[in-house]
Amino acid sequence: MATILIIEDNVDVRENTAEILQLANYKVFMAADGKEGVKLAEEVQPDLIVCDLTMPLLDGYGVLHLLSKKKASSPVPFIFLTAKSERSDVRKGMEMGADDYITKPFNPTELLNSIECQLRKAAAIRNSSDKGLAGLNSLLELVSEGDPMQPLKDGRNINRYKKKQCIYQETNHPSHLYYVTKGKVKTYRRNDDGKELITGLYNEGDFLGYGPLLEGGVYPDSAEAMAETELALIPRREFEELTNKNVQVMQRFIRLLSNNIQEKEIQLLNIAYNSLRKKVADSLLAVYKKYNSSGAENFGIDISRENLAAIAGVAKESMIRTLGDFRDEKLIDIRDGIIYLLNIKKLSNMYN
């Protein structure tokens, strides 16, 4: 049963809307103003929000703005419910990230159809992170609204890369969106002395290289296969058509880009201020979390010491020495070069 939050200051509209949604088998929460609505959204984590535009204390624009800044709430579909129907109001709401705009008085069927449509789109976007091509296919089906873009699915070019083979280089102009169907990929930068810093890790089911496509720039780093890898290629033109056609798809890639920026900021802060032991522990946990998506207990980290050092931003020799210390302390085990985490809690709480 999907959960819907109604934020509406008019008690009659609020209660009548809630009754309609409850009859449609939705679980409903209600808030009488924008401030209360933001607080309730954080508490109940609804699947969709229906929000009035003109309210005391905090209007609908303010509610959408505050929730869009919160990582847990930003992917939630947001429908404006308002008496205003001017084009400028509609445009402003949609540009801020609203998914639909319904004018009062409304037909209950219109509201229910909109809610069903937005929930279906949200589910398709979440499923687009599934393994293999299934996630990409669900995303394409979302964009085409039930009529999949067969040319993108049938006969798609699959490029195969050997371990350590270059995928693209820094300052190259992008021509494709990449989708990892098999293997592992890293993005990295090297300074003038040749020291490498890994800026991103990618696994099966991840999109790669969308940043410069969205920004209209060049690649800020290089990409290389860390194992035998297969990538599905989507031409730039098709990617642009895909993102221009549906705001939900564009929002997903913007969220991915935003998350990548935040992760890189945290990584650089950790490299600048954390101790050697903390850097090594964090790098182990980052790789473990990235590549152990199934949560297997005996998952082994099969990654070169050079790459692990490049993630942590430390010298290879320092990485090897610290891994030896961790093994002696029973925090990890190393068998045939593969690292097994024995005490994730202590690694997570490593003192700086």
Q: Are residues 18 and 113 in the same domain?
A: yes
pLDDT at position 276 is: 95
Most confident of 62-76, 120-134, 147-161, 337-351: 337-351
Q: Are residues 44 and 118 in the same domain?
A: yes
Q: Are residues 282 and 244 in the same domain?
A: no
Q: Are residues 46 and 112 in the same domain?
A: yes
pLDDT at position 296 is: 85
Residue 231 confidence (pLDDT) above 70: yes
Report H helices in the chain. Answer: 11-23, 34-44, 60-68, 87-95, 108-127, 134-143, 150-153, 210-215, 236-245, 247-273, 276-291, 305-312, 316-328, 344-348
- Give the C-alpha separation, 336 to 62, whole Å: 55
pLDDT, one tens digit per residue, over 25-79 is: 999 999 999 999 999 998 999 999 999 988 888 888 899 888 877 655 456 889 9
Query: Which of residues 256, 288, 323 is at a domain's end?
Result: 256
Judged by average pLDDT, the poorest of 91-100, 196-205, 286-295 is 91-100
Report the DSSP pairing between strands 176-182 and 229-235.
Answer: antiparallel
pLDDT at position 155 is: 56
pLDDT at position 119 is: 86
The CATH number for 79's domain is: 3.40.50.2300
pLDDT at position 219 is: 93
Residue 134's pLDDT band (boundaries 50, 70, 90)? low
Q: Are residues 123 and 138 in the same domain?
A: no
Residue 130 confidence (pLDDT) above 50: no
19 or 244: whose pLDDT is higher?
19
The model carries a pTM of 0.58
- Give the C-alpha separation, 128 to 131, whole Å: 8
Residue 289: inside a domain: yes
Kindly report the average pLDDT of the chain as a whole number: 84
Residue 328: inside a domain: yes
Q: Are residues 140 and 123 in the same domain?
A: no
Residue 91 confidence (pLDDT) above 70: no
Residue 62: inside a domain: yes
Residue 30: inside a domain: yes
Q: Are residues 325 and 239 in the same domain?
A: no
Of the candidates 216, 210, 303, which has an alpha carbon nearest to the alpha carbon of residue 261? 210
Most confident of 80-89, 125-134, 224-233: 224-233
Q: Which domain holds residue 213?
A: 134-256
Query: What HEC string does 218-259 produce?
Result: CCCCEEEECCCEEEEEEEHHHHHHHHHHCHHHHHHHHHHHHH
Residue 204: inside a domain: yes
pLDDT, one tens digit per residue, over 291-336 is: 987 788 889 999 999 999 999 999 999 999 999 999 999 999 999 9
Structural domain count of the chain: 3
The CATH number for 174's domain is: 2.60.120.10
pLDDT, one tens digit per residue, over 14-30 is: 999 999 999 999 999 99
Residue 125 confidence (pLDDT) above 80: no
Q: Are residues 146 and 245 in the same domain?
A: yes
- Give the C-alpha separation, 205 to 127, whole Å: 10
Residue appearing with tokens 């229906």: 50
Q: Are residues 148 and 95 in the same domain?
A: no
Residue 131 confidence (pLDDT) above 50: no
Query: Which of residues 110, 127, 144 is at a domain's end?
Result: 127
Q: What is the mean pLDDT of residues 225-248?
A: 83
Q: Are residues 170 and 205 in the same domain?
A: yes
The CATH number for 287's domain is: 1.10.10.10
Query: Which of residues 106, 127, 148 is at a domain's end?
Result: 127
pLDDT at position 320 is: 96
Q: What is the mean pLDDT of residues 255-278?
A: 84
Q: Are residues 251 and 303 in the same domain?
A: no
Q: Are residues 248 and 327 in the same domain?
A: no
Residue 262: inside a domain: no
Residue 151's pLDDT band (boundaries 50, 70, 90)? very low
- Give the C-alpha separation, 265 to 283, whole Å: 15
pLDDT at position 87 is: 53
Residue 221: inside a domain: yes
Residue 245: inside a domain: yes
